[in-house]
Amino acid sequence: MPRRGKSIHPRIHPFNYPLFDRYPAEHPAIVALQTHAESCDECVGREIAWPQLGNTPIDQTWHSASTDRKRTFSGLAYMYLSYGLVLDGWLKQPEQPTKSEWIVLQTKGPEVLQLLAECEQQALRDGNTDLMPLIAKARRYVECHREAILSRLAQLSVDWQETSLDACYSSRYFLEHRGLRGEWEHDENMHYFGRIVDIDEEVTFETDDLAELESEFQTAVDAYLKSHDRT
- Write out pLDDT tens, residues 4-56: 556 899 999 888 999 999 999 999 999 999 999 999 999 999 999 888 877 88
Strand 173-177's sheet: what is its strand order? Answer: 173-177, 180-186, 192-197, 204-207
pLDDT the model gives residue 200: 86
Longest dimension (CA), the chain: 65
Contacts (Cβ under 8 Å, ≥6 apart) of 116: 76, 135, 138, 139, 142
Q: What is the mean pLDDT of residues 190-204?
A: 84
Question: Going by DSSP bridges, is the β-strand pair 204-207/69-72 parallel, antiparallel, or unpaired?
Answer: unpaired
- Could you tell me which residues are beta bridge partners of residue 98? 169
Pick from 217, 216, 170: which is nearest to 197 by CA?
Answer: 217
Q: Is 27 helix (H, G, I), strand (E, B) or coil?
A: coil
Task: Evaluate whether 58 touches 46 at the Cβ level (below 8 Å).
Answer: yes
Q: What is the dihedral of CA 121, 125, 130, 135, to 10 degrees?
A: 0
The answer to whether 98 touches 92, Cβ cutoff 8 Å, is yes
Q: What is the mean pLDDT of residues 98-115?
A: 93
Please state, in angstroms and rounded to a whole number, the distance separating the CA atoms of residues 25 and 48: 32
- Cα–Cα distance, 123 to 69 (Å, whole number): 17
The whole-number pLDDT of residue 60 equals: 98
Global pTM reads 0.78
